[in-house]
Amino acid sequence: MDNNIKVTHDVLSKRFYCITGGCVSCVEYRKYKGREGIIEIYHTLVPEELRGQGIASIIMNEVVRYVSENGLKVVPTCSYARKIFEKDENRALLY
Protein backbone atom coordinates (compact mmCIF):
# COMPACT_ATOMS: atom_id res chain seq x y z
CA MET A 1 0.00 0.00 0.00
CA ASP A 2 1.10 3.54 -0.76
CA ASN A 3 1.80 5.34 2.53
CA ASN A 4 1.65 8.66 0.65
CA ILE A 5 -2.11 8.55 0.17
CA LYS A 6 -3.48 12.10 0.21
CA VAL A 7 -6.80 12.50 2.00
CA THR A 8 -8.94 15.46 0.96
CA HIS A 9 -11.73 16.96 3.05
CA ASP A 10 -14.56 18.14 0.81
CA VAL A 11 -16.54 20.38 3.18
CA LEU A 12 -19.38 21.01 0.72
CA SER A 13 -19.97 17.31 0.09
CA LYS A 14 -19.27 16.48 3.74
CA ARG A 15 -16.78 13.73 3.02
CA PHE A 16 -13.16 12.81 3.40
CA TYR A 17 -11.80 10.95 0.40
CA CYS A 18 -8.76 9.74 -1.47
CA ILE A 19 -8.18 8.47 -4.98
CA THR A 20 -6.04 5.35 -5.23
CA GLY A 21 -5.49 3.41 -8.41
CA GLY A 22 -8.21 5.48 -10.08
CA CYS A 23 -10.78 4.48 -7.42
CA VAL A 24 -12.40 6.76 -4.85
CA SER A 25 -12.56 5.70 -1.19
CA CYS A 26 -14.42 7.90 1.28
CA VAL A 27 -15.96 8.57 4.67
CA GLU A 28 -19.21 10.54 4.60
CA TYR A 29 -20.73 12.56 7.42
CA ARG A 30 -23.53 15.02 8.18
CA LYS A 31 -24.68 17.20 11.06
CA TYR A 32 -26.28 15.02 13.68
CA LYS A 33 -29.97 15.94 13.80
CA GLY A 34 -29.03 19.44 12.66
CA ARG A 35 -27.05 20.12 15.85
CA GLU A 36 -23.94 22.28 15.78
CA GLY A 37 -20.71 20.65 16.89
CA ILE A 38 -21.93 17.07 16.42
CA ILE A 39 -21.43 15.03 13.26
CA GLU A 40 -22.78 11.64 12.30
CA ILE A 41 -20.40 9.42 10.35
CA TYR A 42 -22.79 7.27 8.38
CA HIS A 43 -20.82 5.73 5.51
CA THR A 44 -17.36 4.38 4.77
CA LEU A 45 -16.59 3.14 1.27
CA VAL A 46 -13.50 1.40 -0.05
CA PRO A 47 -13.88 -0.32 -3.43
CA GLU A 48 -13.65 -4.09 -3.19
CA GLU A 49 -10.38 -4.29 -5.10
CA LEU A 50 -8.69 -1.99 -2.56
CA ARG A 51 -10.02 -3.51 0.67
CA GLY A 52 -7.59 -4.89 3.21
CA GLN A 53 -4.89 -2.35 2.38
CA GLY A 54 -5.56 0.05 5.27
CA ILE A 55 -7.11 2.79 3.14
CA ALA A 56 -10.18 3.20 5.36
CA SER A 57 -7.87 3.50 8.36
CA ILE A 58 -5.84 6.24 6.68
CA ILE A 59 -8.99 8.22 5.88
CA MET A 60 -10.46 7.66 9.34
CA ASN A 61 -7.22 8.88 10.97
CA GLU A 62 -7.72 12.16 9.13
CA VAL A 63 -11.35 12.30 10.30
CA VAL A 64 -10.27 11.72 13.92
CA ARG A 65 -7.65 14.48 13.61
CA TYR A 66 -10.20 16.92 12.14
CA VAL A 67 -12.84 16.15 14.79
CA SER A 68 -10.34 16.49 17.61
CA GLU A 69 -8.83 19.75 16.31
CA ASN A 70 -12.26 21.31 15.80
CA GLY A 71 -13.80 20.34 19.14
CA LEU A 72 -16.50 18.23 17.51
CA LYS A 73 -18.33 15.18 18.85
CA VAL A 74 -19.20 12.13 16.76
CA VAL A 75 -22.16 9.80 16.44
CA PRO A 76 -20.78 6.87 14.43
CA THR A 77 -23.67 5.03 12.77
CA CYS A 78 -21.36 3.36 10.26
CA SER A 79 -20.05 0.08 11.72
CA TYR A 80 -16.43 0.80 10.74
CA ALA A 81 -16.54 4.31 12.23
CA ARG A 82 -18.12 2.91 15.41
CA LYS A 83 -15.20 0.49 15.77
CA ILE A 84 -12.67 3.33 15.38
CA PHE A 85 -14.41 5.76 17.78
CA GLU A 86 -15.00 3.13 20.46
CA LYS A 87 -11.24 2.61 20.82
CA ASP A 88 -10.00 4.06 24.11
CA GLU A 89 -7.94 6.83 22.48
CA ASN A 90 -10.96 8.08 20.49
CA ARG A 91 -13.79 7.40 22.95
CA ALA A 92 -13.77 11.00 24.30
CA LEU A 93 -14.87 12.20 20.85
CA LEU A 94 -18.15 10.27 21.03
CA TYR A 95 -21.40 12.10 21.62
The reported pLDDT for the residue numbered 4 is 84
pTM of model > 0.85: yes
Q: Give me the sheet containing 8-10, strands edge to edge.
A: 8-10, 15-20, 23-32, 35-45, 73-76
Domain annotation for the chain: domains and CATH numbers: 8-93 (3.40.630.30)
Q: How far is CA 55 from CA 20, 22, 38, 63, 91, in A?
A: 9, 14, 24, 13, 21
The reported pLDDT for the residue numbered 2 is 54
3-state secondary structure of 65: helix
The reported pLDDT for the residue numbered 1 is 53
The reported pLDDT for the residue numbered 3 is 63
pLDDT tens track, the chain, 95 positions: 556 899 999 999 999 999 998 999 999 999 999 899 999 999 999 999 999 999 999 999 999 999 999 999 999 999 999 999 999 999 999 99
